[in-house]
Amino acid sequence: MNTRSMGTMRFQKQLFKCLIYQTVIPLITAYFPVGICIFAPIAGFAWPPLAFLFPNICCIHPLFDGLVVMFTVTEYRLFVGVVCFTSDEESKLITRRLMNGEEWSPIIHSKETEELEKEHSMVLAGNH
């Protein structure tokens, strides 16, 4: 008997991808540069720009750590899109719906936007 819903399975896949990315990105941005800085002089390889480049690469790891979660999980990605690319009123309406656990999609968003615009036009016209 399968007790998991399709939404739960989709979410689990997203979290698994996120976990893989959060494993690979530190290797690239933190451990490989530090390992090269440690073992390059031992191997007799000296290139001064490495001393300036690799510490900066190591510093961007915390940035990518948060961005991976935001752009891997669909609900977070939608929320970021709403906050960045909609008006304040639309953003407040959609944020309220998401916080209440309601579904949001661009189709619902467009219907609510039309209702919101009608509401605003009636308020501006003085017809409540």
Q: Looking at residue 120, what is its pLDDT?
A: 54
More confident residue, 5 or 112: 5
Query: Which residues, in sequence order, are CB contacts of 82 under 8 Å at separation 6+?
Result: 90, 91, 94, 95, 98, 104
27 pLDDT band, cuts 50/70/90, is confident
- Provide the strand spans (E) within 1-128: none
Its pTM stands at: 0.57
pLDDT averaged over every residue in the chain: 76
Distances (CA, A) of 27 to 11, 23, 65: 25, 7, 12
Q: Looking at residue 70, what is its pLDDT?
A: 86
Q: Looking at residue 17, what is its pLDDT?
A: 92
